[in-house]
Amino acid sequence: MGPYDLMVMPTHVRFAGRRFARTIGRGGVTDHKAEGDGATPRGAHRIVGMLYRPDRMARPADWALPIGPTDLWSDDVADPDYNMMVRAPHGFSHEALRRADPMYDLVLITDWNWPLAVKGRGSAIFIHAWRGKGRSTAGCVAFRPDHLQWIAQRIRRSSNVVIA
């Protein structure tokens, strides 16, 4: 692994020579990820995208894409677009990417179960801002917002997130 890979350790993340506090899924780390289990999947997952709220921050990297008011992420196994970014209106279960809280103001997208999703294996493992130190996620990796911003300005599009 290289210096621009995020190494998720039991108590922190190592990246670019620094250590960062982090939170992970309420279900801990798993080798058998399933939709809705709240677990963070073990393994090396490539960064495939970056999204940001242009009404709340400057573009963090030249490859970051803005989150618009109708942007959603499908988490419905019955949806042909399961585990893909979709637009409202959308007739299947989904998560809004443009939230009232700052959790998704900046999002790094991993290749977990993407682009050819296996239904039920779990959707969207993002890297995003935490709700507070020690407060778990639904399976994603989360950071203090200023740490996430620092990471986003340095990470590469093909960096890996390695979850031990």
Q: Is the pLDDT of residue 151 over 80?
A: yes
The domains of the chain are located at 6-163
What's 6-163's CATH class?
mainly beta
Q: Are 74 and 94 in contact (CB under 8 A)?
A: yes
**% of the chain residues with pLDDT over 90:** 96
Model confidence pLDDT, tens digit, residues 60-96: 999 999 999 999 999 999 999 999 999 999 999 999 9
According to DSSP H, which parts of the chain are helical?
A: 145-152
User: What gap in Å lies between CA 105 and CA 92, rounded to an integer?
Assistant: 23
Q: What confidence tier does 150 reach under pLDDT thresholds 50, 70, 90? A: very high
Q: Mean pLDDT across the stretch 131-139?
A: 95
Q: Are 77 and 94 in contact (CB under 8 A)?
A: no
Q: Is the pLDDT of residue 1 over 80?
A: no
Q: Is the pLDDT of residue 135 over 90?
A: yes
Q: What confidence tier does 107 reach under pLDDT thresholds 50, 70, 90? A: very high
Contacts for 96 with CB less than 8 Å, ≥ 6 apart: 71, 72, 88
pLDDT of residue 2: 84
